[in-house]
Structure 1
């Protein structure tokens, strides 16, 4: 049907809002509430998920929000308590935990019941008053997962719908042509370009995996039935999400239009979206190759190789590891004498063209956006009509963290855990809360909306689990030699390639997307064609020449075509008969093929397991560089038709039970395990957690739940650079000159106060030590560039910043180039990526130390300590003279120079409801606080 203009749509919404008041749809008499099984947490489990459980808004609620600023019930009621922890954690007590977290017990007390209803005869739903969380009780297993689908659609339908379109590369026809929408669909289309047949094949493959596979598909079918039942009822009753009117899919007056029902293949799309964002690792080998060659060209073969090795920090002996009990788990390392690398000829690399035949607004560059072009390794760089690309989602890694202490070191003698994933800040949140109770299912916690037929992160009757992104290297880049089927000339633009002696055409997949203006999106009409090129080795990301021969660089990902295989592991997490011990939990985690660090705690034991489809590689292959094709270099046992290979077995994965403590903040998993990129070195934000837990245990002080929360929160407002690097920088400076002395004094005073970025008082929107924090933010990009670029040269320095940006401050990315401040992320996540370990090792080398894994000769000052010292003082003075408007350049959310706002967390809209900004804290979005005093 024809789309209305924005003005006409707004008038229609206002008129249509009068037809259905919020909550006006009829409800049958409430049934009696069923009981949950015995809860062994004994009210010692808590959790939090901002901004609120409810993400759906009717016509009337959207209009009320637009005109009066009101929000639907339970859409923001977890935001204030989440925000408050940053300023209130020091005063936290056992009695005040529920001021900052919600009760995570099974069931709902009678006085806390908000509503009880039956979406189908075999399922009862109880909503609690506190947060509006659905507690789903199924008389049958089918009823349980049906109820999960129904209640998730009640809370997150439009977001689920938008994401299934994004995962197919088709969000602009659905939600409009805003730049963020285009960036989103391009990103996902480039990494997971599936045909509908391939999506269905993945469903069929899981269904054929024995009884658990068959059961999983039955659960998924009932779940989809629940979603579709809500779609049908809400459309007929006219209480569906108002965004369907705003985007022109339903007429607000006549109710004509269609909300497309969900299918099983939509769940595969959503799984691929989540897996690409949070559950993969690797794929940066082309950038690695360019940077390494630039270093060798500048420094010579021997010193260039050594400088690359130090920068890469592949197996840094100083890196803290989640496993620290003396075990080693080698994986993903560069062999001593690598062979089969396919290094590009200098200057020959070009990114694969993705956009064709652009017209209208698609031909206009997004001049107002400071963000770079789409990075095929960075899905989810934007969301819908607000035009904001959230950095937490733009980078695959997220900032999930975990702290788990064994009972040997707690006051109660029972393990204590504070853990959760970071899925960025959205309104509504990508995760949804639920309790599921039915035959073979007993769980409570969070799941990605649209995949919530099982709880993905949460708790069972007597155990809890969580995850952090692991990012071990499961993606390899192959250089596929191009060819001409008719024997003609071969160029980089050729779309045929050699595979085992045959010249084959690349598989192509297209999306013809067009858009018109809709309410909330004033982007003019436009269209383009997205085209993906794929070989047997995976999607093409770059074209280049190798030794003069044209090649296509492709990404071979072990989870490609296997996006839903992990369903079996999640099914076991939810099954009280399958998980009843630390060992059984680890075995279930091994059934998950995405790269996650899994943590477990019950009344007696703690456990850790690193999951993932870890391919076994040929012993001579370097997974950090592009690889030449051919049987000698392919994964052992690789079947290109199914993308299956030989994988590491259970014992080879990093795993542990009852270590004294575990911490994880996307740091190194274990000695011997190489990360996918270069950030897991001698200084990493996991150090902030490790130090706080390790020192308290070493001092003989036992942990309580409160103290573990405080350790997490204290680390979450600390500037990593201040705690771990600035002290050494000041040692190099020593006694500063007159220009730098007051600045050095400022820095020392800030360090003495903990090096934190925290408000003067809760809600003040002004930092204590604000001037010094600004000085640090301005100084870091200047000092890093001054430290490395003169030694390695401008081409190598620029290439290394492509491998990893130098700085992930709370306010965004800066690479030390004039005017380059790539977005203000507003997503909390900070200090994961950056040249923190590289700066630290080099500076300690200047001080005369010999840090293991460091640079053979210090690069700062080209090895001259006096020159390095002078550079540090010069750049410090330069930073002090930098205008605030350059350090914090402003964006759609903030005025230039507004420091607090630049750091603040903004919930990006997926629909029509926005949220208030909150102060910065480096913390998971969903978080559990756990201590089980009893066990089955």
Structure 2
């Protein structure tokens, strides 16, 4: 076996200066060979053959940092020593970053300064290389000079998918390997025991603790239940895997495999001893389970909801406490921004008139089910413990990674008479990126766009010949919590009156010892107890009875099902209209909002298997695990049930415009996460697009400008600060410190309330003092307004449902620091509604009480001025305390976006902007 190196796994790859020793062990021949890109070995002047393209040169896209996510050992070492980059590893980062300062002067003709031309094919003078993978004659991979994106053209279906797999491995092999191990709960065994690795595998494996048999069963069921399309999906997957494995073999024999395999001890740099395991079909399901947990599984949080409800009832009494809780929950807030805004109602998960079967825990009895057992070598590692705690919190909360946005305008309101769309998924920022770009042309497949690495047998978000599509995370509730009554002991439960044993699922992980840098060897076991109602997440008592709370989601054991919908989206013979687009995405069981545009029509559809709940069940709270409260026609053996029909899902064709930033979908349609109230980041899009549509003549450039302008806005400043200053200025501000702060905040508002650099690349904010003051003030003012009335216990409990703040520099929340995505989760709506009520303004769906100063304007003003003075007195170092990337007090750096390393290549951080990671700009000029 190859020798383990002296740093733990991925953590080792992130640390400058740790890799110099490898220069001594890697021969000069290996270094020179490693510098040669495998693409360069097959360069030619051939031109790709493209299918019919109806976009007329008006389709563009972008995906930072770059298409090339693989690097040889030599390239990794040179990057970490000197900052050099492999070809196409970073070439999309600059254009992406530059839009923040360049958008104001944008025109249709300059869009591709900040985006890539997403036309089909590659002009002959732009061909960088042509490859017939494994010598096949039925497929070619052509890469363009500008971005290195693979354009895969096949004459057979098998060859096409083989090429897609080969190209995926060329660009993302290491990342694919990392995430198949994450999905199996085996990352630390594969890549070492760094705290970040532990946290990553614990977060995802808790949600999808599958055995190998579970993974295979999902494939078998998806194939069996989908006829010819299921059989085709299986054939496509097998061809795709053959392509991946062909590249593994070629790169191994040629010694141009990713250098991370050497740095984590899987290969020896000199002898080449060691193996890179071939991929198998169950790995694809493991990968899909990670993506589904990240972006497509709305719901959960019922236990936290119950705890905060009981805290409200303890504070106010049952009747008033319930009223207060409901007002903060904002299940169906009349002031919430809606994607389907034509007044159509789509009732789902509404509050029942008389709730049935609720199983609320006894006060103080809830404990989280431990995931980690038998830990060795990690007990003293506090960072690992903290990572585990964070992983648990992220896994069990209803505040999922939302991200993603969409702006779509009907052709009736555009300058060209064709719909215009600017949309994309906000999947976070990683090096290499989770997504990869590609074009696939072959029998029954014609598309270009982005796909998750390792799942790229089809384009998942992108464009077809004469249509484009994208998605945002929707978050409607497909997860329920059941209280299973225990019997015999803690590991048996009552199922339909019979004492039944829980199933124990374990994953053991260990990592090798180190010798130089203090990271100890270690091991631990992840253990999940599974019931017919899903995995156990909590223990408690209910009315004195011992129970286990389990989490059941409709997509559990069905991670592979969505492949059929993606297959349809790539099929030019299937998607020909808004209606056929909606039919395709109905086959996707993850919770997404889907958007469509062609040359004439636009469309929207909300996907996901929404279970039909028993009458009287309130989806917000745990219910008893009894037949009367199960999903209608639920079969525990297959985890299938009755689901709401397609017509009951929010959907629309040719609405004047659509916006989505993970906001509420439609009237009466309940989302699972808190915060869909009067102020939501979706308002930043709604306000801008509505003005464009009212004026008419919308262009691609003007819609990009609207998106970019919203991406730099501080939601608190734009939508809440004006009313806060109304209260403060209701009398003359006599305190000098407060008056100076007010003056700075007002000047910032007048300038637009955005977080922008003084000039491109300055790494200094204009209005820096005002931004610092608001960042410091917001948590103080929220506490000052609400804690006196709610009481400390309830105020704290509500924060478990919805964090107070998610500013760009915040290190808390589902996305964490340096993640770009901001202002999804926060108390902006609560502050907005309460302050407006205190000002005497009209508030639809008000909070149950007036909290700021007990409803007194003068008392509220005193609270705001007092907290403002405190905030103004905080130094930049106090507000931005610094981390392993940024010095204390560096405001710009605290906000900045980091491409988080999942391999050995590092990239520079860029100025904050709140926009999709992969993004398209499209306007089709004609249709088939």
Match status 1:654 vs 2:668? no
Match status 1:920 vs 2:920? no
Match status 1:732 vs 2:730? no
Residue 59 of structure 2 corresponds to 45
The 5 Å alignment of 1:519-534 reads 523-534=519-530
Residue 12 of structure 2 corresponds to none
Query: Displacement, 1:680?
Result: 1.2
* Distance of 2:917 and 2:366 partners within structure 1: 38
The 5 Å alignment of 1:59-458 reads 59-119=73-133, 120-208=136-224, 209-366=226-383, 373-376=389-392, 378=394, 396-458=400-462
8 Å Cα contact 1:177-1:517 kept in structure 2? no
Q: Deviations over 1:555-602 (max 9, x none)?
A: 110000000101110000000000000110001111110000000000
* Distance of 1:685 and 1:519 partners within structure 2: 49
- The alpha-carbon distance between structure 1 residues 614 and 10, as it changes in their structure 2 partners (threshold 3 A), is farther
The 5 Å alignment of 1:737-816 reads 737-739=734-736, 740-813=738-811
TM-score between both structures, scaled by the size of structure 1: 0.95
Query: Structure 1: where are the runs of 5+ without partners?
Result: 382-393, 485-489, 816-821
Helix, strand or coil at the partner of 1:303: helix
8 Å Cα contact 2:399-2:802 kept in structure 1? no
Helix, strand or coil at the partner of 1:374: helix
8 Å Cα contact 2:165-2:241 kept in structure 1? yes
Q: Which residue among 24, 39, 44 is the counterpart of 1:11?
A: 24
Helix, strand or coil at the partner of 1:832: coil
Q: Deviations over 1:440-462 (max 9, x none)?
A: 00000000000000000000000
Helix, strand or coil at the partner of 2:94: helix
- The alpha-carbon distance between structure 1 residues 558 and 24, as it changes in their structure 2 partners (threshold 3 A), is closer
Query: Displacement, 1:66?
Result: 2.2
* Distance of 2:573 and 2:185 partners within structure 1: 40
Q: Which residue among 21, 33, 37 is the counterpart of 1:20?
A: 33
Residue 924 of structure 2 corresponds to 932
Bigger mean CA deviation after superposition, 603-612 or 743-752: 743-752
Match status 1:864 vs 2:856? yes
Query: Displacement, 1:844?
Result: 1.3
Query: Displacement, 1:69?
Result: 1.3
* Distance of 2:231 and 2:805 partners within structure 1: 47
Residue 689 of structure 2 corresponds to 693
Residue 574 of structure 1 corresponds to 570
8 Å Cα contact 1:59-1:241 kept in structure 2? yes
* Distance of 1:380 and 1:308 partners within structure 2: 20
Query: Displacement, 1:3?
Result: 3.2
* Distance of 2:884 and 2:434 partners within structure 1: 22
* Distance of 1:27 and 1:879 partners within structure 2: 59
8 Å Cα contact 1:405-1:417 kept in structure 2? yes
Query: Displacement, 1:524?
Result: 1.7
Query: Displacement, 1:746?
Result: 1.3
- The alpha-carbon distance between structure 1 residues 113 and 518, as it changes in their structure 2 partners (threshold 3 A), is farther
Match status 1:507 vs 2:507? no
Query: Displacement, 1:716?
Result: 0.3
Query: Structure 2: where are the runs of 5+ without partners?
Result: 7-18
* Distance of 1:306 and 1:621 partners within structure 2: 19
Residue 592 of structure 1 corresponds to 588
8 Å Cα contact 2:200-2:391 kept in structure 1? no
- The alpha-carbon distance between structure 1 residues 839 and 141, as it changes in their structure 2 partners (threshold 3 A), is same
Query: Displacement, 1:519?
Result: 11
Query: Displacement, 1:743?
Result: 1.2
Residue 607 of structure 2 corresponds to 611
8 Å Cα contact 1:31-1:118 kept in structure 2? no
Q: Which residue among 664, 668, 673 is the counterpart of 2:664?
A: 668
* Distance of 2:34 and 2:470 partners within structure 1: 39
Match status 1:713 vs 2:708? yes
8 Å Cα contact 1:478-1:629 kept in structure 2? yes
8 Å Cα contact 2:469-2:595 kept in structure 1? yes
- The alpha-carbon distance between structure 1 residues 5 and 377, as it changes in their structure 2 partners (threshold 3 A), is closer
Query: Displacement, 1:375?
Result: 4.1
Residue 390 of structure 1 corresponds to none
Q: Deviations over 1:235-277 (max 9, x none)?
A: 0111100000000001111111000000000000011110011
Helix, strand or coil at the partner of 2:494: strand
* Distance of 1:174 and 1:931 partners within structure 2: 45
8 Å Cα contact 1:811-1:825 kept in structure 2? yes
- The alpha-carbon distance between structure 1 residues 689 and 823, as it changes in their structure 2 partners (threshold 3 A), is closer
* Distance of 2:29 and 2:392 partners within structure 1: 41
Query: Displacement, 1:18?
Result: 3.0
Q: Deviations over 1:477-513 (max 9, x none)?
A: 11111111xxxxx5xxx11111111111111111111
- The alpha-carbon distance between structure 1 residues 542 and 856, as it changes in their structure 2 partners (threshold 3 A), is same
8 Å Cα contact 2:34-2:255 kept in structure 1? no
* Distance of 2:815 and 2:635 partners within structure 1: 42
Residue 11 of structure 2 corresponds to none
Helix, strand or coil at the partner of 2:462: strand
8 Å Cα contact 1:338-1:621 kept in structure 2? yes
Residue 876 of structure 1 corresponds to 868
8 Å Cα contact 1:807-1:813 kept in structure 2? no
- The alpha-carbon distance between structure 1 residues 746 and 645, as it changes in their structure 2 partners (threshold 3 A), is same
Query: Displacement, 1:15?
Result: 5.5
Query: Displacement, 1:881?
Result: 1.1
Query: Displacement, 1:370?
Result: 7.3
8 Å Cα contact 1:277-1:380 kept in structure 2? no
TM-score between both structures, scaled by the size of structure 2: 0.96
Helix, strand or coil at the partner of 1:585: helix
8 Å Cα contact 2:4-2:512 kept in structure 1? no
Query: Displacement, 1:397?
Result: 2.3
8 Å Cα contact 1:507-1:535 kept in structure 2? yes
Q: Deviations over 1:327-372 (max 9, x none)?
A: 11011221122121111111111000111111113542118x9768
Query: Displacement, 1:11?
Result: 3.2
* Distance of 1:688 and 1:622 partners within structure 2: 32
Query: Displacement, 1:517?
Result: 5.2
Helix, strand or coil at the partner of 1:528: strand
The 5 Å alignment of 1:556-575 reads 556-575=552-571
* Distance of 2:268 and 2:88 partners within structure 1: 27
* Distance of 2:414 and 2:707 partners within structure 1: 16
8 Å Cα contact 2:54-2:926 kept in structure 1? yes
Query: Displacement, 1:853?
Result: 1.5
